[in-house]
Structure 1
Amino acid sequence: MNQIVTTQNLSKRYGSKYCVKDINLSVSEGDIFGFLGPNGAGKSTTLKMILGLMRPTDGNVKVFGKDFEGNRQLILSQTGSLIESPSYYAHLSGLENMRIVQRLRNIPEKNVSEALKIVRLENQKDKKVGQYSLGMKQRLGIAMALLSIPKLLILDEPTNGLDPAGIGEIRELIKSLPKRYGMTVLISSHLLSEIEQIATSVGIINDGNMMFQGNMDELKNKSHPNIMIKTRNNLLAKELLSDKGFSPFYREDSLVFGNLTDEQVIQINRSLTSANIDVLRIEENKKNLESIFLEITGKGRSL
């Protein structure tokens, strides 16, 4: 599969401190790549270096298989982006704002109506942007990024500040782009639930270091599910199973075990029933994306 974006040892240092260190990013054609990490992890800095808005301290960037240096104009003509927050003239209408960008980028005028239609703003195009809701402004920013119907779309925290309905709209829009227009999407976020719902591949960055990169199934498989067993006498059950080499811990009213095979679950159940300890419930507790993130980074903090 073609690699649309690749970085090699991409780094950015301010003084003696690296905010991005040796990032090797790989985004395949047709992917929705979720770039995930806490605020301040280095996501925006990495995206700015990919777009040529910031010069790397070390490393290099290739987009569409070409070095950014020397191919800047060609790469940017096929790339759309929304970094941090949309820029617009509040006293002008959505359509007038779009036409300014269209002329600046020398893009066919027919693309304006197409981009507004994609983000469902065609009925509000004549309204002043200063009167737009936050969600409409965000959609206008995405429409500007889509004006050239680019091969690569880079969105930095596109759902920031939106209500649940606005987040849902942006999510459905992004999910439709690869199939509808053959776009590759690189989207950064600190909202784990959003990335889980839209991304085909994911990269996790923390303190400027890439902690994980792969598809969503690979990420979920990084953490084996816990087995939770509830009995009528958890204290006695824990003593019995500890003698047999198991190391459960308490969570609420159950005993929790780490990575167990099916055979081990059968063995535990037999041991408990043989000792006349009633087993009330055995359940598998799969970890969510946030738990896996915290496990990978070793950080006891939420995003």
Structure 2
Amino acid sequence: MNTHPIIETRQLTKTYGGTPRVDQVNLKVQQGEIFGFLGPNGAGKTTTLKMLLGLVQPTQGTVKLFGQELRSHRLEILNRTGSLIESPSYYGHLTGLENLKVMQRLRSLPAKNIDKVLQIVRLDNHRHKPAGQYSLGMKQRLGLAMALLAFPSLLILDEPTNGLDPAGIGEIRELIKSLPAQYDMTIVVSSHLLSEIEQTATSVGIISDGKLLFQGAMAQLQAQNRAAVHFRIDDPARAVRILSEHGYRPIMQEQQLVFSAMPDSEVARVNEILVSGQIAVSRIVESRKSLEDIFLDLTGKERSL
């Protein structure tokens, strides 16, 4: 059994013109995970992934894949790794099948892998069509087929749903979710689409301005999603004074009082106190933060990422 993380970085840093684009990032990705690498555009996601693949040299820090230093075992490591970084590369005048044959011969892979990956990415019926005539979604799937051709132990995908329509996004999402169990793959998928990471990943890292702000299981992140109870009332200032006499310390937000999660009996007790104090309660709502809200709390970024 593999006791090493599949990916481990220490103090990984990349500086351009004196400004760190990636700033002392310590990543750990375990075998079999779908690791969602989340952050707004320009946060440092692509630069980090390029350093994991040896496409960009770190200014500082180390990268280990499969327990080995990338610097010392690059060829061996990359033979076990598939990737789709930024936009897919292909020869537009060649068919999808011919593009895959070029890759298969370059990497000395079994020819049978071509048919298999074409079926996996649902391009089997378009294998003889020139890649230059593919739709954006088909080009993305061709890039994914190339990344899968060696059936790698580690698959690194940078914004794989970029530019796709909702149906295409759903297809890629379901494909990614199926790969770890079917082919024993570990997957790193970067995105600025919060809903995609929430629906796909088993663990997550959040990066902003080059700094890793959170890393852990998706359940850990969602555990920060504590419920809050909102009372909409007509006189918040007087309500706070009344409730303080009974030991309650709510937060006042405009016409609302906000309490941390509490049982129904406690909600009923607060409501009773307010009504007895001649405070009109027009609404009681329990709310939870979405992954997007947690992301915004961590990064301070605006919603339009």
TM-score of the pair, normalised by structure 1: 0.93
Deviation per residue, 1:193-230 (Å, 9 max, x gap): 00000000000000000000011111122242221123
Q: Match for residue 63 of structure 2?
A: 61
- 1:106 Cα deviation from its structure 2 partner: 1.2
Cα distance in 2, alignment partners of residues 207 and 242 from structure 1:
41
Cα distance in 2, alignment partners of residues 67 and 152 from structure 1:
15
Cα distance in 2, alignment partners of residues 146 and 268 from structure 1:
57
Cα distance in 1, alignment partners of residues 147 and 244 from structure 2:
59
Q: Match for residue 191 of structure 1?
A: 193
Contact 1:290–1:302 under 8 Å retained in 2 = no
- 1:272 Cα deviation from its structure 2 partner: 1.7
CA separation of 1:256 and 1:233: change in aligned 2, threshold 3 A: closer
- 1:64 Cα deviation from its structure 2 partner: 0.6
1:76 to 2:82 alignment: no
User: Residue type of the partner of 1:197?
Assistant: Q
User: Residue type of the partner of 1:195?
Assistant: I
Q: Match for residue 17 of structure 1?
A: 19
Q: Match for residue 86 of structure 1?
A: 88
- 1:280 Cα deviation from its structure 2 partner: 5.0
Aligned partner of residue 3 in structure 1, secondary structure:
coil
Of residues 48-57 and 238-247 in structure 1, the stretch that sits farther from structure 2 once superposed is 238-247
- 1:290 Cα deviation from its structure 2 partner: 1.2
Q: Match for residue 133 of structure 1?
A: 135
Q: Match for residue 142 of structure 1?
A: 144
Q: Give the alignment's Cα RMSD to 1 decimal.
A: 2.0
1:270 to 2:287 alignment: no
CA separation of 1:267 and 1:54: change in aligned 2, threshold 3 A: same
- 1:103 Cα deviation from its structure 2 partner: 0.8
Contact 2:226–2:288 under 8 Å retained in 1 = yes
Contact 1:294–1:302 under 8 Å retained in 2 = no
- 1:264 Cα deviation from its structure 2 partner: 5.5
Contact 2:236–2:252 under 8 Å retained in 1 = no
- 1:269 Cα deviation from its structure 2 partner: 2.6
Which runs of 5 or more residues in structure 1 are unaligned? none
CA separation of 1:214 and 1:258: change in aligned 2, threshold 3 A: farther
CA separation of 1:280 and 1:173: change in aligned 2, threshold 3 A: same
Q: Match for residue 43 of structure 1?
A: 45
1:255 to 2:261 alignment: no
Q: Match for residue 163 of structure 1?
A: 165
Q: Match for residue 288 of structure 1?
A: 290
- 1:300 Cα deviation from its structure 2 partner: 4.3
Cα distance in 2, alignment partners of residues 264 and 226 from structure 1:
13
Cα distance in 2, alignment partners of residues 94 and 201 from structure 1:
33
- 1:106 maps to which of 108, 112, 118: 108
Deviation per residue, 1:243-270 (Å, 9 max, x gap): 655343346xx62415344376454233
Cα distance in 2, alignment partners of residues 20 and 101 from structure 1:
31
Cα distance in 2, alignment partners of residues 171 and 299 from structure 1:
25
User: Residue type of the partner of 1:35?
Assistant: F
Cα distance in 1, alignment partners of residues 112 and 190 from structure 2:
29
- 1:102 Cα deviation from its structure 2 partner: 0.7
Cα distance in 2, alignment partners of residues 249 and 113 from structure 1:
62
Contact 1:247–1:257 under 8 Å retained in 2 = yes
Q: Match for residue 222 of structure 2?
A: 220
User: Residue type of the partner of 2:39?
Assistant: G
Q: Match for residue 118 of structure 2?
A: 116
Which runs of 5 or more residues in structure 2 are unaligned? none
Aligned partner of residue 80 in structure 1, secondary structure:
strand
Q: Match for residue 246 of structure 1?
A: 249
